[in-house]
Amino acid sequence: MGYIKSYAQIKVNKKVPTVFVDPQGVMRWSDTKAEASFYGVNYTVPFAHAYRALREKGIDHKQAIDRDVYHFARLGYNAYRIHIWDVEISDKNGNLISNEHLDLLDYLFFKLQQKGIRILITGMTNFGNGYPERNENTDAFTYHYDKCQVHAHPDAIAAQERYIGQLLRHVNPYTGQSYLEDPYVIGFEINNEPCHMGAVQTTSAYIARMVAAMKKSGNKKPIFYNVSHNMEHVSAYFNADIQGTTYQWYPVGLVAGRQRQGNFLPYIDQYAIPFSNLKGFASKAKAVYEYDPADNLYSYMHPAMSRTFRSAGFQWITQFAYDPMDIAAYNTEYQTHYLNLAYTPAKAISTMIAAEVAYHIPRNQKFPPYPQNTAFGNFLVSYEQDLSLMNAPDKFFYSNDTKVKPVQPQKLQHIAGRGSSPVVNYAGSGAYFLDRLEDGLWRLEVMPDAEKIADPFAKPSLNREVVHILYRPQEIAIRIPDLGERFTVQPLLGQHDATKAIAVDATTFVAQPGVYLLKRKDLQLYTSWTASSIWKNGRLDDYYAPKTEPLKQPILIHQQPEVLEKGRSAKLQFRLVYEQQPDSIILQTDQVSFWKDNNPYIKLVAKDQDTYEAEIPASWLSGNELKYTATVFVGGKQVTYPDNRAGAPLDWDYSVKRYWTVGLYEQHARIPLFESLDKASSFESFAIPETAHMTSVRQQQELGQIPVWTYTFRAKDAGAQYFWVKDIKAVAQGRPAGLGAARQLCLLLKYTGQGAVLKAGFVTKNGYTYVKDIRLGSSETTVRIQLADLQLVPTALLPAPYPVFLERFFKPAVPAEFDSMDIEKLIVSGQQMEGQSLSIGAVWLE
């Protein structure tokens, strides 16, 4: 089995500092006694779906680990957490099985050690290995017990004692050390998200037995336990003989099935722990085992969450979960999460900045409430710019285009970014890194372009690509004082000829994905730097990026406007995903015909290498709708969208099957926000607390009448609140004149019952909510709310955050006046509605 048999055999490597928890619950380094601070990710290649998917794709698992661990280090992570799938490395009695899964785990730990990354091991998941597929029955002990009984059944506990003891004593053949003696393993969490039911004493007894089994095996490292589940058992956690506690945070819920939009900074303003006054709380270290702003690709949230964690006293922060690069094109592992340096470059850079927040923001430092905390220390976050930024004398990191200047450009040592800034102007969409090797000498690493071609959070498949990687030459201008102008550029690795220097025009040259040495003009080097030079525990030319096949035809991405106003010209944006530049892209409406000699068209104008724009003249926006196509002409091919077929509308044998279609409205006509004509409601509905429920049905009393959506309500306790939310940002953007002229919000409603408290209004771009009370009778009526009467109220955090003990409302401390031009979401809410019904027929502005 490869595990040691007694504590006497353990020899701790004293050269590498370990982590201990002091009596005040602070993780400290064994050598300096300084506070420890960690940031990193979860990552699961040795197990479950990631393991199977890589095998199906014919990918060598160890080579995949090499690639991903390099990127962990490249992003500055110093922490890694895994919940081990015990079902894949144990038998029905809890004995550890030496197999490929365990070997890959050992190899992963070894590679993490090489990069100086510390490890928190969660010994068991106590659930199956299938998700998002069906479980495989491995006959492991977990499969013989229900998740909520595995911590109470005597035979299950005995199996876990046996398993955890053997796991801790297991010797990693790649390091020659057991998990117990490995200094890079900072501690052990007993299990992942336990389900405790019944008496609190049963929970206490279970934890005590597991701790005893770990101590019997010789463990002296900190033991952690999850305290963010089963709130009625929380006293058992803090009375236990453990040194650390673990928490999660999913502030915008999970598994939306689509990409969420909006300003979520109010959602991540505070992390208040309601049981912090319990005996034992202050003596336990705090770790975030999992967190993620799920179902979004925004790059502004991670540093703000890291700041809030530090403010709440956390020292270990690990995101869930980093996608293996070799299957990240599909986002199949966890549909609701998506993070990878190559495939989500802006988001990845934002986690790099979040790591710096964890390392530099003092534990327990307090900050003013949002929106006064969007700039803190050397950091800045912005929803409107979708930007995270670190601006320190030696480091300048940014997740998106920024005009912010480095505070001391002459002192810069490290630059990382996606997009352009005052120091780097880059046309590509991948991430890049600049690191100063010595005076006047820099290493440049450029990742390939990453282009989203489908919603990454919809139902996944290994045959459904959501982000496509492109290897294209891109112009880059680097303006670093330490380099000056006309510096030399020497390729180390990539598609350029490494024997030839690249021409530089002032500060601009053409780069392909790869690694380069940039040297100041006429600089005499003190060190001979070559591709094989040792750098950051590896080689100077270390570089990993996805393999990709050239696209067979161009992909044109376009999000059509929801509405437009008549008599006003409008700009439409398109994004071309292809290796080649097009000869042209032509927009035409449904009014063109093969039989006409003069057909109007608009040639799209390139705004950058991938973004194109068409200005639609006001004369085209005169009917009830605009229907249009766009044809890409490139390399002798012509492909028309949204058909996604070869050919063009004016070809004699081409018949357009699909158009982009946009409704047109008079500038000051009413603005529809919700209509009940569709078979599925466009409202997203919620309840607080989640034990309350509503059901819905679409009803139409008579032909010719407007149908309505009717909701009925039930709750265990009185006082439940119900919400209907719809993202209307696109509608608002398409109706600027109508929005500026609107004075009232109108709702067609019918309420059967009495005593309900109803409100309606908007959530604005700053995340603030403005509503007005609605008074209803029992007959169908149109309610009109004057926009001038809307009042600022706490913003409901919808969907529900995890863990469940977190606050459900953000209460603004800095008031702001309502501005109709800032609206992004429509919100309707109700209270005291149990046993009654509400029908919504339409909502509009006029």
* Mean pLDDT of the 603-632 span: 95
What distance, in Å, lies between the first and last C-alpha atoms of the chain?
Answer: 74
* Mean pLDDT of the 339-361 span: 98
Other residues' Cβ atoms within 10 Å of the Cβ of residue 846: 15
Q: What is the pLDDT, as a whole number, of residue 227?
A: 97
Q: Which CATH superfamily is domain 32-379 in?
A: Glycosidases (3.20.20.80)
pLDDT at 790 over 80: yes
pLDDT band for position 422 (cuts 50, 70, 90): very high
Structure tokens at 547: 């393999």
Burial class of residue 678 in the structure, from the number of CB atoms within 10 Å of its CB (0-12 exposed, 13-18 middle, 19+ buried): exposed
What single-letter DSSP state applies at residue 212? H
pLDDT digits (tens, 9 = 90+) for 750-771: 888 777 889 999 999 999 999 9
Mean pLDDT across the chain: 94
Question: Any idea where the domains of the chain sit in the sequence?
Answer: 32-379, 392-539, 555-665, 671-845
Q: What is the pLDDT, as a whole number, of residue 71?
A: 98
What single-letter DSSP state applies at residue 846? -
pLDDT at 498 over 70: no
* Mean pLDDT of the 725-749 span: 96
Task: Report phi then psi at 637, rounded to 5.
Answer: -100, 155
Q: How far apart are CA 755 and CA 775, in angstroms?
A: 10
Angle 98-103-104 (CA atoms, 0-180°, nearest 5)? 140
pLDDT band for position 5 (cuts 50, 70, 90): very low
* Mean pLDDT of the 543-565 span: 95
Domain 32-379 identical in fold to domain 555-665: no
Q: What is the pLDDT, as a whole number, of residue 505?
A: 93
* Mean pLDDT of the 221-239 span: 96
Handedness of CA 588, 589, 595, 596 (dihedral sign): negative
Q: What is the pLDDT, as a whole number, of residue 719?
A: 85
Q: What is the pLDDT, as a whole number, of residue 527?
A: 78
Q: What is the pLDDT, as a whole number, of residue 828?
A: 97
pLDDT digits (tens, 9 = 90+) for 281-313: 999 999 999 999 999 999 999 999 999 999 999
Do residues 319 and 339 make contact, with C-beta atoms less than 8 angstroms apart?
A: yes
* Mean pLDDT of the 602-615 span: 94
pLDDT band for position 13 (cuts 50, 70, 90): low
For the chain, percent of residues with pLDDT exceeding 70: 97
Other residues' Cβ atoms within 10 Å of the Cβ of residue 670: 16
Q: What is the pLDDT, as a whole number, of residue 756?
A: 83
Q: How far apart are CA 178 and CA 182, in angstroms?
A: 6
Q: How far apart are CA 486 and CA 519, in angstroms?
A: 9
What single-letter DSSP state applies at residue 250? B
pLDDT at 15 over 90: no
User: Strands of 605-606's sheet, edge to edge?
Assistant: 555-557, 570-577, 611-616, 605-606
pLDDT at 9 over 50: no
Reply yes or no: is the peptide bond before residue 689 cis, omega within 30 of 0: yes
Q: What is the pLDDT, as a whole number, of residue 497?
A: 67
* Mean pLDDT of the 222-242 span: 96
pLDDT at 619 over 50: yes
* Mean pLDDT of the 462-470 span: 97
* Weakest-pLDDT range from 89-93, 342-346, 706-710: 706-710
* Mean pLDDT of the 543-566 span: 95
Q: Burial letters for 641-659: b for 16+ Cβ neighbours within 10 Å, e otherwise?
A: bbbebebbbbeeebebeeb
Q: What is the pLDDT, as a whole number, of residue 3?
A: 34
pLDDT digits (tens, 9 = 90+) for 320-338: 999 999 999 999 999 999 9
Q: How far apart are CA 39 and CA 307, in angstroms?
A: 12
pLDDT at 677 over 50: yes
CB contact set of 354 (below 8 Å; sequence gap of 6+): 39, 302, 303, 305, 306, 317, 388
pLDDT band for position 533 (cuts 50, 70, 90): very high
Q: Burial letters for 539-563: b for 16+ Cβ neighbours within 10 Å, e otherwise?
A: bbbbbbbbeeeeeeebbbbbeebbb
* Mean pLDDT of the 641-650 span: 97
pLDDT at 493 over 90: no
Angle 423-352-467 (CA atoms, 0-180°, nearest 5)? 90
What is the third-level CATH fold of 671-845? Jelly Rolls (2.60.120)
pLDDT digits (tens, 9 = 90+) for 816-837: 999 999 999 999 999 988 888 9
pLDDT at 7 over 70: no
Q: What is the pLDDT, as a whole number, of residue 1?
A: 33
* Weakest-pLDDT range from 69-78, 93-102, 266-275, 826-835: 826-835
Q: Which CATH superfamily is domain 555-665 in?
A: Immunoglobulins (2.60.40.10)
pLDDT band for position 496 (cuts 50, 70, 90): low
Burial class of residue 711 in the structure, from the number of CB atoms within 10 Å of its CB (0-12 exposed, 13-18 middle, 19+ buried): buried
pLDDT band for position 250 (cuts 50, 70, 90): very high
